[in-house]
Amino acid sequence: VNAVRRAWRGLLGRAAATLPAGAGLTYEEFQRRHRIILYLLFAQAAATLVFGLVRHVYPPVAILESLVIAALGAVAAVNALAPRFRAAIATLGLITTSAVIVQFSGGLVEAHFHFFVMLAVIFIYQDWVPFLLAILYVALDHGVVGALFPSYVYDEPVAAAHPWGFALIHAAFVLGEAAALLVGWKIIETAENQKRAAIERFNAELAAQAVELARAKEAAEGAAKAKAAFLAGMSHEIRTPMNAVIGMTSMLIDTDLTTDQQEFAQTIRASGEHLLTVINDILDFSKIEAGKIQLEDAPFDLRSNLEEAIAMLADAAAAKGLELTLVMENGMPRGLKGDGTRLRQVLVNLLTNAIKFTSRGEVVVEVSDRPLGLDHEVSIAVRDTGIGIPAAGLSRLFQAFSQVDASTSRQHGGTGLGLAISKQLCELMGGTVTVTSQPGTGSTFTAIVRAPAVDLPDPTDGGAMAGLSGVRVLIVDDNATSRRILEWNAARWGMHPRATGQPKEALDWANAGATFDVALLDYHMPELDGVRLARELRRAKGWQSTRFVLMSSSHPRLAQVAGGFDAVLNKPIRQTVLLNALVGVLNLKRIATDALRSEFDPGLAARLPLCILLVDDNAANQRVAFRMLSKFGYAPDLASSGYEAVAAVSNKAYDLVLMDVEMPDIDGIEASRRIRAQPNLQVQPRIVAMTANAAPEDRNQCVAAGMDDYLAKPVRPFELEAALTRCHPRAL
């Protein structure tokens, strides 16, 4: 019995497998096909009425039956009902139409063809329910009723005599068509199933790939986080000892050393600062790559910013005997809104490269702008007269860790990151970096950024008001760019400039009787240097009251030659420095020059008395900061931990707390929070973070903890001085 049952089930299974499964249309596809059938149904409702009237059917009956068909169509059109029900109702409408047409035709055989056409139409649903409904309709009408009550169905007397025979003939026709349609349906469905299976396989593969990708992404993000943490940690670990190295070296240089010792100490400091630059480059690059760099959006003084960048590289340019000049287009906005620090970083990178690859001639920074709606497109072109770059090397210039050729790296050093970082920073600022170059002639790197202009006061606007108006000035400089800038500035301040690139021409003017109130003389000139030219000019008639200002980029010698001059200025000369110098010498007041000025101002503490607490757990760094403060004339109290700092602030009123951040017990952040939370303090001290954590988020964390300012280690003397100057003591 079981064997027979299994065989029967197998047979049924195979038979079922040969039939189409049905109901495989997507909803969108069903809607598309159903819409066609609805159009057909409504058209037939109208056609039925016309046909009934043509066939002289009692009009109310013709109208009623066409209305029934239209009503079925209306129900089938309701989208809120299930598709299969709507298909069944539409089928009912189509088959009813067939029945009505047969009825109105008086049972004509030709009218029966309508049913066969409708059966084929119903097949486009590819669903068993409407299909079986259509078959059932006919089976009930012609099979059951026709066989049991032949008078309801057949008018023919022969049919009434042989009802079963006629029922079988009708069934054979209907089943024959149904079988043909089923075969077609199965073929279509098989093809569609194969297509769907292929799509599903493809989708499954895609899903598997997506999972793999998500895993890989997660792993990559984890690795990136680990890398960022590692870099931050490394940065801190390297900066901490570098602070001691650079700080101590700065102080060492400021002591009495022999020439050799000075040179050794300068080399140590330069190497330390170079190492720091490399670390900063790598950190910046990794941050830009990870998309984690955030640009500031604050107003900054464009000219000061550029002059600061140039000043940073002045020594390097002077050491190679290069003229380093800044030319700004007339009418440029003084202030811009954006990230001034990053813009300065870009310029320093470009200048470093220009100086590195230029052995003689000049490096000129030319700045221009173009208004673009509310923004300004500022172009900063750094033009050098260096070795230039062959065309083949230009494409590799902005790739990270890439230099024009391997020998470049060996000869000039560098990580190959500077240009890549500069380009990406400029792109973040809405611009880019471009380059043009001619081997043997030089290169021009142009950094372009977009930023809105802001109104900032120009500190050199008061030149004319300061009494310079009408002052006659002689400018002697063999470098045309420098000469042009000096001339332009002098004219801007209302002076009467007369400039030449040849010292002998200036002597000729003097000998011819020309006199000047002030003479700006370049030191390095081919025929006659500035010192000798001054000596010659002083001998001329009417030159005894003339004030002499020497301009040079070679600092060490200046101390030896400065005696005969009213002022000595380092090149490149900042606009404000030049203005101050001119005002100073014309008032017969000697001013301190950049070249002769120490890095430490010992009178700072006298002018700005501050009660300072210095907090650092690292003995070497504590010593560095203590010595720097001592050089400025301060005698700070010391604390070696966060606990000690909090206790010290409770016991004594400090104006300033210089707070290390990374400390073993409670760190600087927590210590600052506790100090800010002390209710019994009459006046809260100013807290300045001193940390080797150089990221902007560290700065934000410090500010959030209640700190007022931030110094990144290694702390340079001028940065510390600036931080001290920003401090307003309680006593003042």
Partner 1 sequence: VIVTGSAHGLVTQEHFQEWWGYGVFFLAAAVCLIGFGLALITEAIDPRYMPGDIRRVRRLVYACGALGNLSLVVLYVLTRTVGIPLGPGAGTVETVGALDVIAKASELLAVLGLTVLWVKTRPRVSS
Say whether residue 512 binds partner 1 (CB under 8 A).
no
Distance CA(406)–CA(212), nearest Å, equals 39
Q: Contacting partner 1 (CB under 8 A), which of 75, 238, 282, 454?
A: 75
Question: Per-residue x/- mask for partner 1, residues 110 to 139, rule CB under 8 A?
Answer: -------------------x---x------
Bridge-based pairing of strands 656-660 and 612-615 is parallel
Name residues contacting partner 1, limited to 134-153 (CB under 8 A).
140-141, 145, 149, 152
Say whether residue 291 binds partner 1 (CB under 8 A).
no
Alpha helices in 141-162 (DSSP H): 146-148, 150-153, 157-161
Distance CA(289)–CA(284), nearest Å, equals 8
Say whether residue 82 binds partner 1 (CB under 8 A).
yes
Say whether residue 21 binds partner 1 (CB under 8 A).
no
Question: Per-residue x/- mask for partner 1, residues 330 to 369, rule CB under 8 A?
Answer: ----------------------------------------
Q: How many CB atoms lie within 10 A of CB 501?
A: 17
Q: How many CB atoms lie within 10 A of CB 654?
A: 25
Amino acid type, 680: N
Q: How many CB atoms lie within 10 A of CB 468?
A: 21
Say whether residue 459 binds partner 1 (CB under 8 A).
no
The answer to whether the CB of 419 falls within 8 A of the CB of 402 is no
Residue 649, SS3 per DSSP: helix
The answer to whether the CB of 530 falls within 8 A of the CB of 558 is no
Q: Contacting partner 1 (CB under 8 A), which of 103, 379, 434, 684?
A: 103
How many Å from the N-terminal Cα to the C-terminal Cα in the chain?
112
Name which of 148 and 229 has its Cβ closer to partner 1. Answer: 148
Question: Per-residue x/- mask for partner 1, residues 54 to 73, rule CB under 8 A?
Answer: ------xx--x---x--xx-
Which one, of 688, 731, 730, 732, lies nearest residue 713 by Cα? 688
Mention every residue, 6+ apart, whose C-beta is less than 8 A from residue 141.
99, 153
Say whether residue 108 binds partner 1 (CB under 8 A).
no
Name which of 128 and 643 has its Cβ closer to partner 1. Answer: 128
Say whether residue 727 binds partner 1 (CB under 8 A).
no
DSSP 529: -
User: Distance of CA 712 to CAs 239, 356, 563, 601, Å?
Assistant: 9, 27, 38, 21
Which one, of 353, 361, 322, lies nearest residue 433 by Cα? 353
For residue 201, the minimal CB distance to partner 1 (Å) is 26
For residue 196, the minimal CB distance to partner 1 (Å) is 20
Name which of 133 and 648 has its Cβ closer to partner 1. Answer: 133
Name which of 82 and 179 has its Cβ closer to partner 1. Answer: 82
Name which of 46 and 140 has its Cβ closer to partner 1. Answer: 140
Say whether residue 19 binds partner 1 (CB under 8 A).
no
For residue 150, the minimal CB distance to partner 1 (Å) is 12
Say whether residue 31 binds partner 1 (CB under 8 A).
no
Say whether residue 81 binds partner 1 (CB under 8 A).
yes
Say whether residue 92 binds partner 1 (CB under 8 A).
yes
Say whether residue 88 binds partner 1 (CB under 8 A).
yes
Mention every residue, 6+ apart, whose C-beta is less than 8 A from residue 471.
494, 495, 496, 517, 518, 582, 586
Say whether residue 79 binds partner 1 (CB under 8 A).
yes
Say whether residue 210 binds partner 1 (CB under 8 A).
no
Say whether residue 77 binds partner 1 (CB under 8 A).
no
Residue 149, SS3 per DSSP: coil
Which residues in 297-351 belong to E strands, given as ranges? 298-301, 323-328, 335-338
Say whether residue 160 binds partner 1 (CB under 8 A).
no
List contacts with partner 1 (CB under 8 A): 60-61, 64, 68, 71-72, 75, 79-89, 92, 103, 129, 133, 140-141, 145, 149, 152
